[in-house]
Amino acid sequence: MILITGAAGFIGSNVLRALNKSGVSDIAICDSFGSTEKWKNIIDCEFSEFIFPGDLFQWILGKPDLKAVIHLGAKSDTTSSNADEVLKSNFNYTSQLWDHCVKHSILFIYASSSSTYGDGSCGFNDCDNSESLSQLLPLSLYSWSKHTFDRKICRQKERGLESKTSWYGLKFFNVYGPGETHKGRMQSSINNICKQILEGNEVILFKSQCENFADGEQARDYIHIKDVCKIILWFLFKIPSSGIYNIGTGNATSFNRIVQIAKKHLDRNVEIKYQSLPPDLINQYQHFTQANINKLINSGYLTPFTPIESGISSYIDYLINNSKCPPASKRLAKI
């Protein structure tokens, strides 16, 4: 049996679907829905058991057949200021799962984040030793909570406490694609830009706060969700060397470039306007991210990534077919 936490979220729901397509159905999922429509993310998926987050540790004690945990559940709002809640979810909860997996030699995959690299001044190298990790200074409470667990697990690695457990800490860069709509403000910038164009509005981008980047030339390493799923299943079934891995493409794309790709696909002309960063983002904004993926490649992952042009184009078509956005056409919508 495989356990997925955060299974109805953006990455979790797509991983669940990918496992189903690979023939795996003995899957337990853990998440909470409340009164949202997040359940629709898994409406076409198959699973064996559903567990509420508060019941997980009681449930897991009675599952000797559990082979792997894919831990994607977290407090993922990067602007959250409630440190107690964020640490309870992203550090304590993750630590409890980790301790159980180490004790019972259960494969453990967990979500870290590229935001742990802070302003990028130390580079984007997925080293998993205590000395390298101690140099990183995350810019937000969310990224710090992820970073603290990365540091904990690597200290244990150096002491040999996890030698019988295969584990993978995945530093996700900017993931985009179907299934992220419920994330609200935390949706990818690709999603936000494409929706603005589809709705016929001007495109609003943030002004640069760094002299090294012109307005709109801030750049991110974007990776399509289907590539993320392929990588996670590769870790699950191939079991390479344990450690922290960057999950990106190794290529950065600017906001202005995203607008140009979307405009070309839709044959639309829109005006770009630049506005100042919201106050709550000024001190935690990353102007540039680009994963060093040598470790992933050298471990044997050689599957090509989705090119940004085709990824954005296919995502636009998905948004058109699954929303009330106006359809793509050859008509120019000048603003």
Each residue of 250-269: pLDDT tens digit? Answer: 999 999 999 999 999 999 88
| Tens digit of each residue's pLDDT (9 = 90 or more) over 219-235 | 999 999 999 999 999 99
CATH homologous superfamily of domain 175-221+251-290+306-321?
A: UDP-galactose 4-epimerase, domain 1 (3.90.25.10)
Residue ranges of the domains in the chain?
2-174+223-247, 175-221+251-290+306-321
Entry field: residues in the chain: 335
Compute φ and ψ for 176, nearest 5 degrees. Answer: -140, 160
Active site (catalytic) residues = 142, 183
In whole angstroms, give the CA distance from residue 242 to residue 128. 10
DSSP label at residue 306:
P
Task: Let me know: does 74 contact 111? Beta carbons within 8 Å.
Answer: yes
Spell out the CATH class of 2-174+223-247. Answer: alpha beta
Task: Let me know: does 268 contact 332? Beta carbons within 8 Å.
Answer: yes
User: What pLDDT was estimated at residue 327?
Assistant: 43
User: What pLDDT was estimated at residue 200?
Assistant: 82
In whole angstroms, give the CA distance from residue 227 to residue 235. 13
- The CB density around residue 184, as the number of other CB atoms within 10 Å, is 8
Residue 163 banded pLDDT, cuts 50, 70, 90: confident
User: What pLDDT was estimated at residue 78?
Assistant: 66
DSSP label at residue 288:
B
Compute φ and ψ for 200, nearest 5 degrees. Answer: 80, 15
Token pair for 235: 């870790």
| Tens digit of each residue's pLDDT (9 = 90 or more) over 277-301 | 888 787 788 899 999 999 999 999 9
To the nearest whole percent, how much of the chain has pLDDT over 70? 96
Render the burial of 117-141: b for 16+ CB within 10 Å, e for the rest. Answer: bbeeeeebebbbeeeebeebebbbb
Question: Residue 9 contacts by C-beta under 8 Å, 6 or more apart in sequence?
Answer: 31, 38, 41, 72, 73, 76, 182
User: What pLDDT was estimated at residue 330?
Assistant: 31
Token pair for 124: 């984007």
In whole angstroms, give the CA distance from residue 156 to residue 169. 13
Task: Let me know: does 204 contact 145? Beta carbons within 8 Å.
Answer: no
Element (H, E) at 241: none
Instruction: Name the H helices within the chain.
Output: 10-21, 56-61, 83-87, 94-104, 130-133, 141-158, 189-198, 225-238, 255-266, 294-298, 308-321
